[in-house]
């Protein structure tokens, strides 16, 4: 089940909210409702993977308890922590990388004339990258003493399964939500804020991302794209990915507010960045902060000199690419991110600029578009097929005839609108501080603009039937 489906909007969400608010707000009873609803939500996709999901949850709960009983920083606690991290990574590695590993091994063996190794294809459980990373952060935080081992298994199970962010993040940490499992506020105002945020994300996903998506699909499917085709496809995917993923995050944050949770922001106008370093402070913030705290800093961070710092940056982003998926394209993308940040560090480029400089922004945006191209490509050869016209000026000219027959004026118009919106969104951060909108102005915007767009989104969704999120595959 996904947020952008009629089943979720018209059946699951109204039913869940009705049961949730009819349940007395005491003795954590509403946590049981969230847990049951989240397991139903996840099981709607594949009920057979609920067993794995529950097993991971139970295992990490008991590992956390064992670490807490052993004592913060104690040798026994360290052994439990290592066991927990290793088992979690083995689970993630098997389900996410087994197919890739076997395929790569068979390609190598074929080069030596050996028969391929046969193994049944492993199905990737949705959301596994997110709930495994959250589980790892929990047991590491307990070991470090940054969080107490919870004595409430339902609270921990609810944290892992919390459906608003279960499938595609943001990546949460138990220590940031622990108090909210014990007590959280509920009010009409908070619910209204959540509903508004959910509608914003829904519109971004269905109206913008889904309209622009065919442009990217068309361009990346061409066997001989022109320079204009390749750049159009790369920019279209750049826009699609942002509105799709940030739209999901908006919906997750909105759903959280509707049931009393306050979640962290996951995006902060990333395409206004003036360096790749700044970009990663604004894009997928929950992942970049996770990689910093649980990988970069344990590797040594910036504590052991410039050479070690550069090495740690490159390793961190390379492994960030590995986390995204089992494909050489993700490894290349991760290495590209690490190398670009390494270059910025050597050049002394700031990751927190005080003023807006158009040249630096343009260079950064082009680099982001270039990196998203290999991220989107199904293979290195497909990425090269796009890079050739982009950089070697192969097939210079306008859009190719096949491309012209597939695109529509609506798609181009939406792409232009999205680009203007993203630029304006970012430039507001550098403009003069403005007084917040009055409650009356906010209400007028919601009723006069957002609700009609939300209604249009539902009609569009009903026509297309279903709309998957890009980050479900990660």
| Cβ-based neighbour number of residue 435 at 10 Å | 5
Tokens 């995050």 correspond to what residue? Answer: 249
User: Tokens 């491309």, residue?
Assistant: 403
DSSP string, 99-159: HHHHHHHHHHHHHTTPPPPP-PPPPPPTTHHHHHHHHHHHHHHHHHTSSPPPS-HHHHHHH
Q: Is 404 exposed, middle or buried (0-12, 13-18, 19+ CB in 10 A)?
A: exposed
pLDDT tens-digit readout, 355-406: 888 899 999 999 999 999 999 999 999 999 999 999 887 777 788 888 888 8
Question: What is the per-residue pLDDT for 236?
Answer: 95
Count of C-beta atoms within a 10 Å radius of residue 24 = 7
pTM confidence score: 0.90
pLDDT digits (tens, 9 = 90+) for 181-196: 888 889 999 999 999 9
Residues 271/253, Cβ–Cβ less than 8 Å: no
Q: Does 277 score more than 70 pLDDT?
A: yes
pLDDT over 90 (residue 200): yes
Smallest CA-to-CA distance from 196 within 254, 263, 266, 261 is with 254
Least confident of 301-305, 314-318, 343-347: 301-305
H/E stretch holding 438: none
**Catalytic residue annotation:** 324
Phi, psi of 93 (to 5 degrees): -65, -40
pLDDT digits (tens, 9 = 90+) for 421-456: 888 877 777 766 666 666 666 667 777 788 888 888
pLDDT digits (tens, 9 = 90+) for 47-58: 888 899 999 999
């Amino acid at each position: 089940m996904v947020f952008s489906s009629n089943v979720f909007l018209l059946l699951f969400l109204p039913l869940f909210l009705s049961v949730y608010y009819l349940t007395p707000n005491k003795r954590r009873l509403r946590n049981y409702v969230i847990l049951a609803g989240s397991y139903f939500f996840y099981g709607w996709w594949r009920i057979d993977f609920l067993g794995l999901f529950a097993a991971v949850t139970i295992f990490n709960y008991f590992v956390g308890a064992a670490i807490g009983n052993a004592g913060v920083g104690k040798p026994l606690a360290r052994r439990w922590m290592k066991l927990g991290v290793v088992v979690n990574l083995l689970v993630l590695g098997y389900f996410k990388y087994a197919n890739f590993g076997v395929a790569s091994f068979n390609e190598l063996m074929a080069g030596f004339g050996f028969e391929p190794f046969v193994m049944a294809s492993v199905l990737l459980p949705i959301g596994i990258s997110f709930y495994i990373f959250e589980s790892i952060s929990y047991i590491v935080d307990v070991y470090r003493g940054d969080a107490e081992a919870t004595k409430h298994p339902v609270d921990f199970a609810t944290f892992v399964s919390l459906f608003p962010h279960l499938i595609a993040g943001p990546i949460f940490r138990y220590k940031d939500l622990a108090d909210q499992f014990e007590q959280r506020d509920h009010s009409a105002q908070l619910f209204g804020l959540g509903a508004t945020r959910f509608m914003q994300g829904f519109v971004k996903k269905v109206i913008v991302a889904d309209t622009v998506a065919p442009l990217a699909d068309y361009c990346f499917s061409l066997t001989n794209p022109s320079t204009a085709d390749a750049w159009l496809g790369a920019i279209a995917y750049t826009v699609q990915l942002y509105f799709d993923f940030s739209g999901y995050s908006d919906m997750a944050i909105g759903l959280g507010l509707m049931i009393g949770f306050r979640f962290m922001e996951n995006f902060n106008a990333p395409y206004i960045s003036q360096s790749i370093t700044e970009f990663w402070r604004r894009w997928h913030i929950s992942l970049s902060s996770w990689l910093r705290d649980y990988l970069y800093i344990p590797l040594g961070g910036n504590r052991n000199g410039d050479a070690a710092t550069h090495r740690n940056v490159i390793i961190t982003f390379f492994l960030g690419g590995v986390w995204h998926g089992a494909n050489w394209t993700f490894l290349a993308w991760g290495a590209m991110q690490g190398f670009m940040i390494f270059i910025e560090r050597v050049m002394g480029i700031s990751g927190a600029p005080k003023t807006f400089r158009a040249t630096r922004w343009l260079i950064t945006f082009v680099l982001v578009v270039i990196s998203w191209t290999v991220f989107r490509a199904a293979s290195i050869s497909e990425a090269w097929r796009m890079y050739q016209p982009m950089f070697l000026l192969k097939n210079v000219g306008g859009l190719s005839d096949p491309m012209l027959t597939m695109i529509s004026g609506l798609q181009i118009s939406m792409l232009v609108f999205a680009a203007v919106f993203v630029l304006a969104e970012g430039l507001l951060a550098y403009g003069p501080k403005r007084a917040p909108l009055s409650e009356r102005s906010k209400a007028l915007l919601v009723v006069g603009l957002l609700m009609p767009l939300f209604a249009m989104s539902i009609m569009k969704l009903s026509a297309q039937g279903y709309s998957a999120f890009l980050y479900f595959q990660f």
